[in-house]
Amino acid sequence: MITAQTFRLDGRMALITGSSAGIGLGLARGLAQAGASVVLNGRDATKLKATAATLRAEGLDVFERSFDVTDADAVKANIDGIERDVGPIDILINNAGIQRRAPLHEFDHKDWHELMQTNLDSVFFVGQAVAKHMITRKKGRIINICSVQSELGRPGISPYMASKGALKMLTKGMAIDWGPLGLNVNGIGPGYFKTELNEKLVNDTTFSAWLTNRTPSRRWGDVEELAGAAVFLASDASTFVNGHILYVDGGVTAQL
């Protein structure tokens, strides 16, 4: 029987990459409010400490682990360290990601590699390191933060679209390979949310007017509005949901 309790995450531990700010922070707050203990991550240890202090002041149970998700050796050492020192990771949210904007014919090769390493390679590194532990327990939830740009394009962001399109298929591949071993792997595809990553667009009144008119819900999203989808995909309410991408976008992907 499904009750409100089915959606609770008490006694579970979640690692959320890139959770010192923006969407990751919103997801951390949401999962912790639903009862989970949350390990926060980001590269800037000072920013991470301040975020952890804010969440602890709200009565939430959080830990911090500062590491770069693009560094495979650091990822493995930190995942093994979390499993040893904090406890088994029940829920992984691969959220860390970056945006770089430029016309494709001028796009800097260094930016291309940085973008692919952060948005795609990291999900393979962190996902594989965590899945190895989850597979021994025959259970675990992995949620990859994709994007409406896993489906739809815009000028000047082809490499980001390529990274998020590939991430959608990596999510399905993880579900196919790890589903038989007891894991559920799904994605969340956010529409447009006001975070540092989108600062330039938020301050661009022409873009903002175009976006709100283009979005059936007629507004930008608030990061708190992603937490419900993440809690659902992390909880016992979604035991048979696997390889799915849940778009949380105010209807953007529904309309031409």
Question: Quick one: which of 198, 220, 218 has its CA closest to 100?
Answer: 198
Q: Among 47, 56, 137, 219, which residue sits at the site for ligand NAP (rule: CB under 6 A)?
A: 47
Question: Quick one: which of 87, 91, 97, 21 has its CA closest to 54?
Answer: 21
Q: Among 12, 16, 24, 75, which residue sits at the site for ligand NAP (rule: CB under 6 A)?
A: 24
- Smallest gap from residue 132 Cβ to ligand NAP (A): 20
Residue whose CB is less far from ligand NAP, 196 or 236: 196
Both structure tokens of 152? 């739809």
160 is catalytic: yes
- Smallest gap from residue 141 Cβ to ligand NAP (A): 18
- Decide: is 159 part of the binding site for ligand NAP (CB under 6 A): no
- Give, as ranges, the residues between 84 and 143 that touch ligand NAP (CB under 6 A): 95-98, 118
Instruction: Give CA–CA dist 49/42, Å, rounded.
Output: 10
Q: Which of 9, 92, 147, 160 is catalytic?
A: 160
The CA angle 29-31-37, to the nearest 5 degrees, is 95
3-state secondary structure of 7: helix
Please work out the total of residues on this chain that contact ligand NAP, with binding judged by CB under 6 A.
30
Stretch that binds ligand NAP, among 6-14, 35-43, 103-111, 208-216 (CB under 6 A): 35-43
Instruction: Give CA–CA dist 140/130, Å, rounded.
Output: 9
Map 25-79 to HEC letters: HHHHHHHHHCCCEEEEEECCHHHHHHHHHHHHHCCCCEEEEECCCCCHHHHHHHH
Instruction: Give CA–CA dist 52/19, Å, rounded.
Output: 10
- Decide: is 31 part of the binding site for ligand NAP (CB under 6 A): no
- Decide: is 197 part of the binding site for ligand NAP (CB under 6 A): yes
- Decide: is 202 part of the binding site for ligand NAP (CB under 6 A): no
Which residues of this protein are in contact with ligand NAP, per CB under 6 A?
Answer: 17-24, 41-44, 47, 68-70, 95-98, 118, 145, 147, 190, 192-193, 195-198
